[in-house]
Amino acid sequence: MKLSRRVEKLPAQFFASLAGKVAAALEEGRDIINLGQGNPDQPTPPHIIRTLQESAENPAAHKYSPFRGTDELKGAAAQFYKREYNVDLDPASEIAILFGSKIGLAELPLAVMDEGELMLLPDPGYPDYLSSVSLADVTYDTFPLLEENNFLPDYAALTPEQKKLAKLLYLNYPNNPTGGVATKEFFEDTVALAKENDIGVVHDFAYGAIGFDGYQPISFLQTKGAKDVGVELYTLSKTYNMAGWRVGFAAGNKDMIEAINILQDHLFVSLFPAIQKAAAEALLGDQSCVTSLVERYEQRRDVLIEECRRIGWEVTAPKGSFFAWLPVPAAFTSETFADYLLQEADVAVAAGNGFGKNGEGYIRVGLLVEENRIREAIRRIEKLQLFQK
């Protein structure tokens, strides 16, 4: 049976390709230090697991979930936003439960755009943003995230036509892949742009808990007028090491939330109720696990930056996320450098051009292995004599 045009147009899965290269190297018996992944390496905290276990033993959890998620989880999400960001949310109308935030990113163009309409996407950016373009059969333009602008977009560079035609604008701070962070002023400019041009804003807040050097990432919804123009997507994958649980939520603009819910009414019968109960416990229970996790990532970041600079690799320390965005030596492209490190040093990294044309000249390194493995990775790279001390 032939594939639909919509499926045929889907972009190649960048991370699947990277995983394939790493798997092939591991099959050869090589000791690969994988810094290219975005998969949290720590277990889910025990109190969250216990809640899942207890709920799973209750026969009431074995029935269909309410189509739009449990009131308990939606209420927990609202309390979480009030506690963390002093943002007031109506659980019934301003929160939609998601099978991980990736689902919401793919669903939103389907829910609020018509075929051929325009999205604005960051470059570099999370590769799966492009999947939403193909699935909804819409068009897109990109805006550059450049180091000289702290990896924030320059809205003045958007053309009048782009502002007129755009229906959705995707943002992501703390940023994957650059590690850049948003400012209060930037989000205020974003709301002003959206209101002036009738553009919906989607803020991917996947790394919302992870800030360094005393910086706490800010929510887009903290900005005056943000709920008038957009939604924020939050996932429990990173904050609570729940990547495999596939649970998150969208919060904000009532019309966009309702559009998500209507679409999901036809696609899903929400999450396993026991997972929703455990997610509520994660959001409202003991948060010391989050503090410890961020401290762990910051220590790993410090080791990475210290070791890179020790060998003469001039790098900038990220302020948020669990990624570092490192410049490639002049003799290489992003892809040839990533392949070279895998082949010659048994170190896997993600080539920057996989995140867009403005990712050329960089690699993305994840802080998702222990400190001793980070040190070993840089020692292996040091032996290649690519940098001057």
Same domain, 149 and 268: yes
Same domain, 255 and 344: no
Task: Report residue 346's pLDDT band, with 50, 70 and 90 as the boundaries.
Answer: very high
Question: What is the Cα–Cα distance from 173 to 168, expressed in whole angstroms?
Answer: 17
Percent of the chain with pLDDT over 90: 93
- Assess if residue 57 is contained within a domain: no
For residue 102, the SS3 value is helix
389 within some domain: no
- Please determine, for residue 103, whether its predicted confidence score (pLDDT) is greater than 80: yes
Question: Does 11 score more than 90 pLDDT?
Answer: no
How many distinct structural domains can be found in the chain?
2
Assign residue 20 the CATH number of its domain.
Answer: 3.90.1150.10
208 and 248 assigned to the same domain? yes
User: Percent of the chain having pLDDT more than 70?
Assistant: 100
Residues 293-335 pLDDT 10s: 999 999 999 999 999 999 999 999 999 999 999 999 999 999 9
**Same domain (yes/no): 78, 216:** yes
pTM of the model: 0.96
Distance (Å, whole) CA 120 – CA 166: 7
pLDDT above 80 for 63: yes
In this prediction, residues 110-122 reach a mean pLDDT of 97
Boundary (domain end) residue, out of 284, 300, 323: 284
Nearest residue to 190 via CA among 177, 199, 181, 180: 199
Res 195 pLDDT > 80 = yes
Question: What integer pLDDT is reported at residue 254 of this predicted model?
Answer: 98
Query: Both 11 and 103 in a single domain?
Result: no
Residue 308 — φ and ψ, nearest 5°?
A: -60, -45
Q: What is the pLDDT of residue 13?
A: 75
Q: Read off the pLDDT of residues 135-186 as tens digits, 9 standing for 90 and up.
A: 999 999 999 999 999 999 999 999 999 999 999 999 999 999 999 999 999 9
Residue 223 maps to a domain? yes
231 and 326 in a common domain: no
Q: Using N-to-C axis directions, what is the helix angle for 101-112 and 129-136, rounded to 10°?
A: 30
Q: Which domain holds residue 267?
A: 63-284
Asked if 42 and 239 touch (Cβ cutoff 8 Å), the reply is no
> Average pLDDT for residues 258-276, to the nearest whole number?
96
Task: Provide the pLDDT for residue 314.
Answer: 94
CA nearest neighbour of 172 among 116, 102, 113, 228: 102
The more confident residue out of 191 and 389 is 191
In a domain, 149, yes or no: yes
- How many Cβ atoms sit within 10 Å of the Cβ of residue 351? 25
Please check whether residues 13 and 73 belong to one and the same domain.
Answer: no
| Reported confidence tier of residue 5, pLDDT bands at 50, 70, 90 | confident
Please check whether residues 268 and 298 belong to one and the same domain: no
Output the pLDDT for position 37.
86
Say whether 160 sits in a helix, a strand or coil.
Answer: helix
pLDDT bucket at 7, cuts 50 / 70 / 90:
confident
The per-residue pLDDT for 15 is: 76
Q: Which of 284, 301, 321 is the last residue of a domain?
A: 284
Residue 53 lies in a domain: no
Residue 134 domain flag: yes
Please state the rounded mean pLDDT for residues 228-233: 98
* 271 and 296 part of one domain: no
Residue 51 domain-assigned (yes or no):
no
Q: Say whether pLDDT at 16 is over 80.
A: no
Which pLDDT value is given to residue 371? 97
The answer to whether the beta carbons of residues 237 and 100 sit under 8 Å apart is yes
* End residue of a domain, out of 284, 305, 326: 284
Tell me if 232 sits within 8 A of 336, measured CB to CB. no
pLDDT of residue 388: 79
Let me know whether 127 and 185 are in one domain: yes
Closest CA to 201 of 173, 229, 224: 229
One domain, residues 261 and 301: no
* Exposure string over 179-208, b if 16+ CB within 10 A, otherwise e: bbbbeeebbebbbebbeebebbbbbbbbbb
Q: Are residues 116 and 264 in the same domain?
A: yes
Mean pLDDT of the chain: 96
- Asked if residue 19 belongs to a domain, the reply is yes
For 277-287, what is each residue's pLDDT tens digit? 999 999 999 99
CATH of residue 272's domain is: 3.40.640.10
